[in-house]
Chains A and B, each alone.
Chain A
Amino acid sequence: MDINITTRTDDEGKAVVFISGEVDVSTTQKMKAALAELIEGGYGRIIIDMSGVQFLDSTGLGALVGAYKKLRERNGEVELAALPPHIKRLFEITRLDSVFRIHDSVEQAA
């Protein structure tokens, strides 16, 4: 089992990251590394397209929180887009929907 991550960037410091597959304790590190690379690369706005995420667990939530905090230290922001209903519910249960800016789609986030 693996996750697939593709990234699209622009010249204005924005990155859109598309993640697909199952994000759990065995695959979270890959997502963490991809986000860390963008943050270190100076991108101030990272939009994560979650439409392809079939499964997300607490380790995935923790990795997203970690990236959010790290980018906020640099006055940037991690935003989420296109959350499937069963994934969005996890953010509601943990009240992380009050922390992350969540968009219905990547287009809406742009």
Chain B
Amino acid sequence: METQTCSVVELRIPAKPEFVSVARLGVSAIANMMNFGYDVIDDIKLAVGEACTNAILHALAPGKEEVREIIIRCRLEIDSLTIEVHDSGVGCDFEELPREMDIESLPEAGYGLLLINAIMDEMQCMTSPETGTVVRMVKRARQ
């Protein structure tokens, strides 16, 4: 009887803008190892980047100047890749787009988690002052 196993890879980066590309490259290497297609790897890279950016933008908010760390935990299973992006900040900027895209209401921010929700198979964002913020994303392997 075959037992399903999974592997966990954890990457820790400083909560600084210049390290987001490091996170993207690290996770894209994992996705490549799992034989996801190029388009899917691009999606995964973007999603991880957006989650890290969400953490950094909250880290850079006024009054929160201490350097923080972002933890990217990847769970590799036979049929899926689950990525959790943890940081100690509080906040998930996830807003619905306005129904009408008129100039006055056009937002200049808040597209990040919307993109993750569109390109990943699952997304949850959990935030609290006690535990910080976790953005959990899943991409399933296609047959």
Contact = CB atoms under 8 A, between A and B. Distances in A.
Q: Real complex partners, A and B?
A: yes
Nearest to A61: B111
A84 to B, nearest CB: 10
Interface string A69-93: 1001000000000000010001001
A66 B21 contact: no
Contact of B39 (A22, A58, A86): A86
B107 to A, nearest CB: 7
Given A94-B97, A95-B97, A95-B101, A59 B114 contact: no
B53 interface: yes
Contact of A24 (B20, B109, B115): B20
B118 interface: yes
Given A57-B46, A93-B115, A69 B108 contact: yes
Give the 3 A-B CB pairs with smallest separation, nearest first: A26-B17, A58-B112, A58-B111
Contact of B101 (A59, A72, A99): A99
B103 interface: yes
A65 B108 contact: yes
A65 B53 contact: no
B53 A25 contact: yes
Decide if the interface of chain A is mainly helix, strand, loop or mixed: helix
Main secondary structure of the interface of B (DSSP, over half): helix
Contact of B49 (A24, A62, A86, A94): A24
Interface string B95-129: 00100010100111111101100110000000000
Interface of B: 17-18, 20-21, 24, 39, 42, 45-46, 49-50, 53, 56-57, 97, 101, 103, 106-112, 114-115, 118-119
Nearest to B52: A25
Using C-beta atoms within 8 Å of the partner chain, give the interface range for chain A.
Answer: 20 to 34
A26 B49 CA distance: 11
Contacts of B20: 24-26
B92 to A, nearest CB: 13
A96 B107 CA distance: 10
Contacts of B115: 57-58, 90, 93-94
